[in-house]
Amino acid sequence: MNSMLATAQAAIRVAAKDLGYDDAVIDKFLEPERIHAFEVKAGGKAYPAFRVQHSSKLGSYKGGIRFHSNVSLDEVQALATLMSIKTAAVNLPLGGGKGGVIVDPKQLTRAELEELARGYARHLTPHIGSGKDIPAPDVNTNSEIMDWMLDEFEKELGEADPGAFTGKSMHKGGSEGREAATGRGGVVVLGEYLKARHLTNKPLTVALQGFGNVGFFFAEILQKEYPAIRLVAIANSKHTWLQPKGIDVTKTTVPARAPRPEELEDLKDAKVLPSDEIIALKADILVLAALEDAVTARNAGSVKAGVIVELANGPVTKDAAKQLYKRNIVILPDIIANAGGVTVSYLEWQQNVAGEQWDEKRVNDTLAAILIPSTRTMFERAKAQNISYKQAAFELALGRLLG
């Protein structure tokens, strides 16, 4: 079993035992409802492919499709299980699923990539759809790939069902606000924490690891909505840039698109440090928007921030989280803090099923209206039971899934 699956299952077991469920109930929940393992051909070669449909207790399966050479059935199962927890934690009427193909898409021509995407969707046609299982993009898959998959699926099915895939391009029924949704959700969740502590107007500082899709939109929306808060450091996989006077992420040499750190005006005279030093910088809030396992038992002792926001999936390991909890460092957990993406996927599906197209304001307002109560309930439960936010979020999700 890979470590992600073992970690996910262990966290679920602890939370479910705390709620009083016995082993037989927990074992049954951990077992996916259905595993599809098959092969998809592209350019004359066959690639192993999976779709794990973990739980449909709360609604249709929902989860991304990943094209990567490190994909394994265990990893897909772990991610499907965590999707069941995430959709339940934010109270969406959806279940959990995940898909993957063991392939390095960089080795494929564009025509082969399309063949792979279409083959994947064709194989799964009887098992997916807006009322059954709704895939979305994940690592190395994007709106164009979702458009191909939907087209193939609808051809095979013989009728239109645009809600069968989310993360589509706008002209195929995609949603306004989807690109920024995960970063925006992170700001909403952090904002609720700051409001509860009366900190929204305090001159707090933020260090941000990861400046891709999630990190950039998080920073942009944060500076707009909480102008008193100052972003003082950004890291990507190469460097950390430290700029104590503050970083305006909209002042860039490439105004038409999301910038790389090198393209930010305020980083021109920043101090440049090794990439991993972001973890130990002096800042009030550390935002993790890069990869899993960024804070481990090895570097947790160096964290100086009082609050960590998990925007990546699993950026703080279980052992590190235990150490941080003992030091009263707050973690806003991934299953709530990065649920903005799946929430707007759900809104895309709602728009498709109703034949509607909402404007961006309606999407953003609805996103906040879904995340805020879930966040507040997590805070209340953690306080009442004297447990971490992560434990509280898992317990809330499992209460809905096992009850």
Closest CA to 112 of 46, 38, 172: 46
Q: What is the DSSP string of 72-128?
A: -HHHHHHHHHHHHHHHHHTT-SB-EEEEEEE--GGGS-HHHHHHHHHHHHHHHGGG-
What stretch of H or E contains 12? Answer: helix 3-18
User: Is residue 55 part of the contact set for ligand NAD (CB under 6 A)?
Assistant: no
User: Is residue 296 part of the contact set for ligand NAD (CB under 6 A)?
Assistant: no
User: Is residue 96 part of the contact set for ligand NAD (CB under 6 A)?
Assistant: no
User: Is residue 67 part of the contact set for ligand NAD (CB under 6 A)?
Assistant: no
Smallest distance, Å, CB 39 to ligand NAD? 26
The neighbour count for residue 258, using CB atoms within 10 Å, is: 18
The span of 88-96, 112-120, 152-160, 233-241 binding ligand NAD (CB under 6 A) equals: 233-241
274 φ, ψ (degrees, to nearest 5): -60, 150
Active site residue 98: yes
Q: Which of 98, 155, 168, 282 is catalytic?
A: 98
Q: What is the DSSP string of 367-398?
A: HHHHHHHHHHHHHHHHHHHT--HHHHHHHHHH
66, β-bridge pairs: 100
* Footprint (CB under 6 A) of ligand NAD, residues 168-227: 182, 209-215
Closer residue to ligand NAD in complex, CB, 212/246: 212
37 φ, ψ (degrees, to nearest 5): -125, 125
Closest residue to ligand NAD in the complex (CB): 212
Closer residue to ligand NAD in complex, CB, 9/166: 166
390 close to 331: Cβ distance less than 8 angstroms: yes
Smallest distance, Å, CB 202 to ligand NAD? 27
Question: Among 40, 283, 289, 295, which residue sits at the site for ligand NAD (rule: CB under 6 A)?
Answer: 289
Question: Among 235, 247, 324, 335, which residue sits at the site for ligand NAD (rule: CB under 6 A)?
Answer: 235
User: Is residue 313 part of the contact set for ligand NAD (CB under 6 A)?
Assistant: yes
Residues with a known catalytic role: 98
Positions in the binding site for ligand NAD (CB under 6 A): 182, 209-215, 235-237, 275, 289-291, 311-313, 338, 341
